[in-house]
Amino acid sequence: MNKLKNDTFLRALLRQPTEHTPIWLMRQAGRYLPEYCETRRRAGNFMNLCKNPRLACEVTLQPLARYDLDAAILFSDILTVPDAMGLGLYFAEGEGPKFERPLREEWEIRNLSVPDPGVELRYVIDAVAEIRRALDNSVPLIGFSGSPFTLACYMIEGGASEDFRSIKSMLYDRPDLLHHVLEVNTNAVTAYLNAQIEAGAQAVMIFDTWGGALSNRAYKAFSLAYMQRIVEGLRREHGGARIPSIVFTKGGGQWLEDIAAIGCDAVGLDWTTDIGAARRRVGDKVALQGNLDPVALFAQPEKIAQEARTILDAYGPGSGHVFNLGHGISQFTPPEHVAALVNAVHEHSRKQRQI
C-alpha cells in the first residue's frame, strides 16, 4: 500500500503518468545551505554527522523545508561501505575523502570482507528508519550506494585521483585482483541496499561517478557487469510497493542502451547528453533522470528557469522523466537559485500536460 502524499517521483521512475515532472537534486543536503553548515559545526565533522542518525535525519530534511522537492535522499556518503570494511575514512580539509589504509598489497585485498549492514553500518540503517518516521509519508526516501568500481577507485587510490593510475595499473596488470575487489564490493553493496530497503528506503540509486573514466571494454567488464549483478540481487518489492532502482554513470552517455539493459528502472544522465536524444535511444525501457549542468545554477534565476524549460521540452510529453542536475550541486550555489529551478520545473511541466 502506497499512502504517500506525493508519490510523483516513484510514479515517474515507473513511467506512470504524473501531474508534474518531479525534481530532487544530487547532494541536495549540503554545504550550500547555511543550516547544513550549522548542523555540521555542531556535529564537529562530516563523519560524526553521518554516524549520528538524529543529525543525519535533521540535515536530510533541511532542503525539503526550503524547497518543494519531490523526494528526500538519505544523508550519508558512498564511502561508508569501505570505511565499514576497515579502511579508515577521513576527510582532510580541502582535500576531499581519504583512507588511512588504502588497498596496496595483495594480502590486504585477499583479506577484504563484506560488512554486515546491521552491525558495521547500523548507523545508516537507523538513519533510514528515523528519516522515514520524520518524513511521515510526505515524499519518498531514496537510499543509495556507490558502484563497486567507484568504491574501488577510492579504496585503491586512497582518495581522489586525477588519472586513476593505481586502479588502472591493477586493471591492466592484475585483472584477477581487481575482479576480486569488485566481487566483494558487489556483495557488500547488494546487502547494504537491501538493508536500506528493509529499513524503509522507497527507491535506490547507484552512483558510478568514475565509470566514465574507463575504456569502452573496461567499462562493461569492470563497472557495468557488477552493477547488473547488484540490480539483479535487489529486493524488488517491500511492504507491497515496488522499489525502483536508478543507475547513474557520470560520463556514461555513450553506454545508455547498455545501462538501460541491465534491469534498472531509470538511468541518470550527466549534463553532456541531450535528454531528447537519450529518450529516443532507450525508448520505453527505462525512465531518465537529469540533467541540468550544476553550474547553470550560478546564472540569474530567469536564465535557470529557461534552461529548465529547455530540458523539459527536449524530453517532451509523456511520463518517465525525473528532473535533476547532471551531477551534485556545488557548495557555492546561491540557495535562492535552487527555489527558482524547483518552481520552474513544476510550473512548466504542469503547463506541458495541459496542451
Q: Is 31 a catalytic residue?
A: yes
Q: Is 77 a catalytic residue?
A: yes
- How many residues are present in the chain? 355
C-alpha separations of 243 from 20, 315, 331 in Å: 21, 24, 30
The least distance separating ligand CP3 from the CB of residue 30, rounded to whole angstroms, comes to: 4
Widest pairwise Cα distance in the chain: 63
Residue 150 dihedral angles phi and psi, to the nearest 5°: -65, -40
Q: How far apart are CA 228 and CA 188, in angstroms?
A: 14
C-alpha separations of 326 from 253, 301, 312 in Å: 11, 18, 14
Adjacent-strand bridge partners of 89 = 99
Q: How far apart are CA 82 and CA 114, in angstroms?
A: 9
Nearer to ligand CP3, 96 or 318 (CB): 96
Strands 89-92 and 96-99: antiparallel
In the set 32, 36, 154, 192, the catalytic residue is 154
Nearer to ligand CP3, 153 or 171 (CB): 153
C-alpha separations of 167 from 12, 152, 223, 246 in Å: 37, 8, 13, 25
Show the binding pattern over residues 234-273: x = contacts ligand CP3 (CB under 6 A), - = does not.
----------------------------------------
The least distance separating ligand CP3 from the CB of residue 340, rounded to whole angstroms, comes to: 19
Which residues, 6 or more positions from 63, have their beta carbon under 8 angstroms from its beta carbon? 25, 28, 29, 33, 69, 338
Show the binding pattern over residues 78-97: x = contacts ligand CP3 (CB under 6 A), - = does not.
xx----------------xx
Nearest CA to 222 out of 208, 205, 206 is that of 208
Stretch that binds ligand CP3, among 21-29, 118-126, 251-259, 284-292 (CB under 6 A): 21-29
46 binds ligand CP3 (CB under 6 A): yes
Cell 535552487 -> residue: 338
Helices 175-199 and 122-135 meet at what angle, rounded to 10? 40
Site for ligand CP3 in 316-335 (CB under 6 A): 328
Would you give the DSSP letter of residue 85? I
The least distance separating ligand CP3 from the CB of residue 12, rounded to whole angstroms, comes to: 18
Closest-approach residue to ligand CP3 (CB): 209
Q: Is 40 a catalytic residue?
A: yes
Binder of ligand CP3 out of 144, 149, 222, 226 (CB under 6 A): 144
Nearer to ligand CP3, 90 or 281 (CB): 90
In the set 11, 15, 27, 132, the catalytic residue is 27
Binder of ligand CP3 out of 9, 32, 67, 75 (CB under 6 A): 75
Q: 105: how many CB neighbours lie within 10 A of its CB?
A: 8
Site for ligand CP3 in 275-314 (CB under 6 A): none
The least distance separating ligand CP3 from the CB of residue 209, rounded to whole angstroms, comes to: 3
Size of the site for ligand CP3 (CB under 6 A): 20
30 binds ligand CP3 (CB under 6 A): yes
Q: Is 110 a catalytic residue?
A: no
Q: Is 54 a catalytic residue?
A: no
Cell 588511512 -> residue: 100
Would you give the DSSP letter of residue 127? H
Binder of ligand CP3 out of 29, 218, 230, 231 (CB under 6 A): 29
The least distance separating ligand CP3 from the CB of residue 15, rounded to whole angstroms, comes to: 23
Binder of ligand CP3 out of 73, 121, 311, 340 (CB under 6 A): 73
The least distance separating ligand CP3 from the CB of residue 154, rounded to whole angstroms, comes to: 7
Kindly state the cell numbers that stand for 187.
556483495
Strands 237-238 and 241-242: antiparallel
- Residues lying near ligand CP3 in the complex (CB under 6 A): 26-31, 40, 46, 73, 75-79, 96-97, 144, 207, 209, 328
User: Which residues are known to be catalytic?
Assistant: 27, 31, 40, 77, 154
